[in-house]
Amino acid sequence: MKTKTLQWIVMGFFALGFVGLAIPWTFPFFVMLTPLAVVVALAMLIMGHERPTDWRFFTAIGIVFALSYVIELLKVHVFFVEDVFFFGDSFGPVLLNIPLLIGLCWVALLYICAAVAERLNTNAVVKVLAGAGLVVLFDIALELVAHKLDFWYWTWEIPIWNYVLWFVSALGMLSIMKLLDVRIENKLATTMYVTLIIFLLLLHVII
C-alpha cells in the first residue's frame, strides 16, 4: 500500500477515535477499545516499514518490550510506589499491576520516534538524543489526558523525575537499537507522530 494512502488512513483512524472520545455517550466504548487501537496502529506501522528485517531488528524489539515492562514495574513499585502512581483499566490484563499491553505501547513509540529521528541528516548520537526528546514530548502531551482515558493516575502533581525517567529510558533503549545497528525507515512514522500529538492536545481541550 502506498505511503500517501496509509497516511490518510492514519489520520482518518485517529479522527474517528477523536470523535468517538469527544461524544459523551460513546466515550466509554472508545476508551474500552484502547488495546485494539494500539494493535491497529502497530499494524499500520508494519505496513509502512521500508527496510528488510533481520535478527537484530527482532532482538531490539524484544529488548524494548522486556525493558519497558521492567521499567514500568520499577516505576510503580519502587520509584513512585502505588499510592503515588498506578495504572487504570484501559490497557487490559495486568501482571504485577502492570498492563501487558504497555510493552507494545513502548515498542510502537520507540519505533515511531526512532524512524522520525532517522530522517535527520546528522550523526547517530544526535539521532538518539532527538528520538529520546520526541518520546518525552509525546509523554508531556499524553499526561494531559492519561487520567481522563483511564490509562494511569498520579495522586500528586506529576514529578519532574517522571520525565527524566522517560528520557533516560528512551535514551537507553534507542542506544541499544543503534548498537545493534537497527535503522528504522518508515515515512508513515512522522505522520503518525504528528497526528498523535494533535490528537492528544485536542482531546485535552475537548474532554
| Count of domains for the chain | 1
Domain that holds residue 67: 3-206
Partners of 86 in the beta sheet? 153
Residue 85: per-residue pLDDT: 87
Partners of 152 in the beta sheet? 87
Q: How many CA atoms lie within 13 A of 188 on its CB side?
A: 25
How close are the terminal C-alpha atoms of the chain, in Å? 34
For 76, residues 6+ apart whose C-beta sits below 8 A from its C-beta are 82, 85, 86, 87, 97, 98
The 10s digit of each residue's pLDDT in 137-185 is 999 999 999 999 999 999 888 889 899 999 999 999 999 999 999 989 9
Location of C-alpha cell 504528528: 194
Partners of 138 in the beta sheet? none
Closest to 74 in 3D by CA, of 181, 168, 179, 148? 168
Residue 118: per-residue pLDDT: 95
Residue percentage of the chain with pLDDT more than 70: 98
The 10s digit of each residue's pLDDT in 46-94 is 999 987 788 899 999 999 999 999 999 988 887 766 568 899 999 999 9
Q: Are 64 and 107 in contact (CB under 8 A)?
A: yes
Residue 45: per-residue pLDDT: 93
- pLDDT bin (cut points 50, 70, 90) of residue 201 is very high
